[in-house]
């Protein structure tokens, strides 16, 4: 893969200025180009796209294993579809891009550039679903969606165009629908923690922060070193809120007509990629799980006059040995020093670097450097393949062990607003008591936003061991243990 000769590394420490660190990583590791002349629309560059395609492949394979079939839906949705579910149109209307004309013709009805696909899909589901024999009906599509994001945009995290997967499912009973929501969460943990090495916590969102039109919303939050959380995949129990207006019915075994219970699930792959870069990266650049790296092994010859030919020959031998199993690149460019190449490939997160110089040729060894652990080991060339095989198997495991272990250290229990404010300022996620997650607690949530500049993320879905007697804001009896954090 061709590289520009830009060997300037990251000039700020991640812990000192996360925002600047992230901006430099995106630019210098050539993940995205922000110079497209339309706010919130970003050019994704090859190094990012290769990893994103691998992420899509893993997610789609898991969805299909769990019974989902793929669809491709139109990107334009008639405005009348939105008005069929009042909460949904109210929630999404401020974010919609509208298409009003084509060529010289103005449309009688505005067309929405898809912000999400409920109102497109369920119109068709009413035609496709007829009998209980059609259920469960599980479909997904991998696509782009567009939302007029009013806040400051940031590549991958927050944009006006993003890339995701959305799964939409119909069941005969609410119990089956709730089981799907649980499976969605299990898939999220399997993908994000086991495949992408991103530590997450699933929360049931408060009623004032649920998906527009949902009965309940459950969302995974990842915490960055800046102290801000990134919302990652969310799953929604829609109940019959959409099946009734869109007439998604089926004839049951008893010959009666019933409304289907619907769920939807939305892993935003581009956002997950941004979270992976933000959470796993270090002061030298990005760190990637082994399977997702565009180049898994780079071979860098250490060249001196009089030995160049022998060194390159040994490098080519190593490349031939590994290329059938891994994505390998021999960097034999002569316009950069070995040190400049080391910095460049560390910046781009290549898991293993193999260095071979004149002395290594004499002793028939190769020096293998692990990007994540920083381990540097001289390996006999005869054993190189076996050593890389074992190191590759362990690379992502070591990454997960380190990153997933760190997450709990970022949570702090707080009894008062003052304690919570200090915790938020110290880049922690706050665990505290709250009066309710219902609409009656909106005023307490507004205090959190105003005084702390943070948001109530919700109650943890898994077993909660922390309990509080009173609400951190109003002092009333705490009905819930909630988590509070700033967010992207």
Q: Which domain-ending residue is among 252, 280, 308? A: 280
In a domain, 5, yes or no: no
pLDDT for res 3: 45
Range(s) of the domain holding residue 314: 290-394
User: Does residue 47 sit in the same domain as residue 109?
Assistant: yes
User: Does residue 203 sit in the same domain as residue 156?
Assistant: yes
Rounded distance between C-alpha atoms, residue 61 and residue 66, angstroms: 9
How does DSSP assign 436-468, residue by residue?
Answer: -SSGGGHHHHHHIIIIIS-EEEEEESSPP----
Rounded distance between C-alpha atoms, residue 426 and residue 147, angstroms: 32
Express each pLDDT in 331-376 by its tens digit. 999 889 999 999 999 999 999 999 999 999 999 999 999 999 999 9
Confidence bin at 70 (pLDDT 50/70/90): very high
Average pLDDT of span 147-153: 82
Express each pLDDT in 311-338 by its tens digit. 999 999 999 999 999 999 999 998 899 9
pLDDT for res 405: 66
User: Does residue 234 sit in the same domain as residue 337?
Assistant: no
Rounded distance between C-alpha atoms, residue 273 and residue 160, angstroms: 16
Rounded distance between C-alpha atoms, residue 260 and residue 363, angstroms: 70
Instruction: Say what the pTM is.
Output: 0.94
Distance of CA 64 to the CA centre of its chain: 19
Average pLDDT of span 251-262: 97
Confidence bin at 409 (pLDDT 50/70/90): confident
pLDDT above 90 covers what percent of the chain? 86
User: Does residue 270 sit in the same domain as residue 316?
Assistant: no
Confidence bin at 176 (pLDDT 50/70/90): very high
Domain count, the chain: 3
In a domain, 400, yes or no: no
Q: Is residue 294 over pLDDT 90?
A: yes
In the chain, how many H helices and how many E strands? 14, 23
pLDDT for res 474: 97
In a domain, 420, yes or no: yes
Confidence bin at 2 (pLDDT 50/70/90): very low
CATH number at residue 467: 3.30.110.30
Asked if residue 136 has a cis previous peptide bond (ω within 30° of 0), the answer is yes
Q: Is residue 143 over pLDDT 80?
A: yes
Q: Are the CB atoms for 20 and 14 separated by under 8 Å?
A: no
CATH number at residue 87: 3.30.930.10
User: Does residue 259 sit in the same domain as residue 321?
Assistant: no
Burial class of 414 by CB neighbour count within 10 A (0 to 12, 13 to 18, 19+): buried
pLDDT for res 1: 47
User: Does residue 80 sit in the same domain as residue 175?
Assistant: yes
Q: Is residue 38 over pLDDT 60?
A: yes
| Token pair for 404 | 């997933």
Higher-pLDDT residue of 86 and 430 is 430
Express each pLDDT in 432-486 by its tens digit. 999 999 999 999 999 999 999 999 999 999 889 999 999 999 999 999 999 999 9
User: Does residue 65 sit in the same domain as residue 188?
Assistant: yes
In a domain, 115, yes or no: yes
Q: If you average pLDDT over every residue of the chain, what do you get?
A: 94
Q: Which domain-ending residue is among 246, 262, 280? A: 280
Average pLDDT of span 64-89: 93
In a domain, 3, yes or no: no
């Amino acid at each position: 893969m061709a590289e520009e000769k830009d060997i300037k590394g990251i000039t700020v420490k991640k812990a000192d200025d996360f925002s600047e660190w992230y901006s430099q990583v995106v630019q210098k590791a050539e993940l995205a180009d922000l110079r497209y002349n339309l706010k919130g629309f970003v050019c994704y560059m090859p190094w990012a796209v290769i990893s994103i395609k691998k992420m899509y492949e893993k997610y789609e394979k898991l969805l299909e294993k769990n019974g989902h079939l793929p669809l491709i839906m139109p990107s334009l949705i008639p405005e009348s579809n939105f008005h069929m579910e009042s909460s949904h149109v109210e929630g999404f209307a401020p974010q919609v891009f509208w298409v009003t004309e084509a060529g010289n013709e103005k449309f009688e009805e505005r067309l929405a550039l898809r912000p999400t696909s409920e109102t497109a899909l369920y119109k068709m589901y009413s035609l496709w679903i007829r009998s209980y024999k059609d259920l469960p009906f599980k479909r997904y599509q991998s696509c782009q969606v567009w939302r007029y994001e009013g806040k400051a945009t940031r590549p991958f995290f927050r944009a006006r165009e993003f890339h995701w997967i959305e799964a939409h499912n119909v069941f005969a009973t609410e119990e089956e629908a709730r089981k799907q929501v649980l499976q969605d969460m299990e898939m999220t943990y399997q993908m994000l923690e086991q495949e992408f090495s991103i530590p997450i916590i699933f929360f049931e969102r408060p009623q004032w922060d649920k998906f527009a039109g949902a009965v309940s919303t459950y969302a995974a939050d990842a915490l960055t070193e800046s102290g801000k959380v990134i919302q990652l995949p969310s799953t929604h129990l829609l109940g019959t809120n959409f099946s009734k207006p869109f007439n998604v019915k089926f004839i049951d075994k008893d010959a009666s007509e019933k409304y289907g219970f619907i769920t939807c699930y939305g892993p935003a792959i581009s956002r997950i990629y941004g979270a992976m870069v933000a959470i796993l990266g270090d002061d030298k650049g990005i760190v990637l799980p082994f399977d997702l790296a565009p180049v898994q092994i780079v071979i860098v010859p250490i060249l001196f006059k009089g030995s160049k030919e022998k060194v390159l020959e040994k490098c080519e031998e190593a490349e031939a040995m590994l290329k059938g199993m891994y994505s390998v690149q021999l960097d034999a460019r002569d316009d950069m020093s070995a040190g400049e190449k080391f910095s460049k490939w560390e910046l781009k997160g290549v898991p293993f670097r193999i260095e071979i110089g004149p002395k290594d040729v004499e002793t028939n060894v190769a020096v293998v450097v692990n990007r994540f652990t920083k381990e540097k080991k001289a390996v006999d060339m005869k054993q190189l393949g076996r050593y890389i095989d074992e190191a590759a198997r362990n690379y992502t495991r070591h990454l997960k062990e380190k990153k997933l272990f760190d997450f709990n250290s970022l949570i702090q229990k707080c009894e008062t607003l003052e304690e919570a404010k200090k915790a938020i300022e110290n880049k922690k996620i706050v665990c505290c008591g709250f009066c309710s997650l219902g609409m009656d607690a909106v005023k307490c949530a507004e205090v959190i936003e105003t005084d702390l500049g943070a948001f109530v993320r919700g109650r943890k879905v898994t077993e909660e061991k922390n309990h509080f007697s009173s609400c951190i804001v109003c002092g009333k009896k705490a009905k819930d243990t909630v988590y509070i954090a700033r967010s992207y």
